[in-house]
Amino acid sequence: MSQRKTDSTVKPIISNLKISPDSAKVNQGGGALTVTGTIDYVDSEEMLSGGRLTLVAVDSNNNVLPTLNTAIATTPGEKNGTLTARAVIPTSTQQTIKFSLYVTDTNNNQSNTLTGTFIISP
């Protein structure tokens, strides 16, 4: 069996970040709320399965929240699709949480970074 050759420098591309819910009230969810996010990806090398999705969030005081770093599972042979991840966001304080996320394929190529905000209002 021949192994498929890939250009190990081709980076995956992510786009179309959506989160739900996209905001919360103070203490909604009893002080913490599960937020679901989706992104679309293009992976011409088909090397994303087994890679990682990383989400870094910073609160209003510039404290880094626990980082989400989760394995990616895609269908073999799939060059594009949608990834879904969930994170727990603390809602005990009125603040704006800024976050960024990216994916890394099994060749260790990091995608572009998408950013967003999650507002916790009174």
Name residues whose C-beta falls within 8 Å of residue 5's C-beta, 6 or more positions apart in sequence.
none
- What is the predicted pLDDT for the residue at 1? 39
Number of structural domains in the chain? 1
Residue 23, H or E segment: strand 23-25
Whether residue 88 is predicted with pLDDT greater than 70 in this model: the reply is yes
Residue span of the structural domain in which 92 resides: 13-121
CATH, residue 103: 2.60.40.2550
Question: Per the domain annotation, does 104 fall within a domain?
Answer: yes
Question: Per the domain annotation, does 98 fall within a domain?
Answer: yes
Euclidean distance between CA atoms 22 and 117, whole angstroms: 8
Question: Per the domain annotation, does 5 fall within a domain?
Answer: no
Question: Per the domain annotation, does 2 fall within a domain?
Answer: no
Tell me which residue of 71, 104, 70 sits closest to 113, measured CA to CA.
104
pLDDT tens readout for residues 5-58: 556 789 999 999 999 999 999 999 999 999 999 999 999 988 999 999 999 999
- Phi and psi at 10, nearest 5°, equal -75, 120
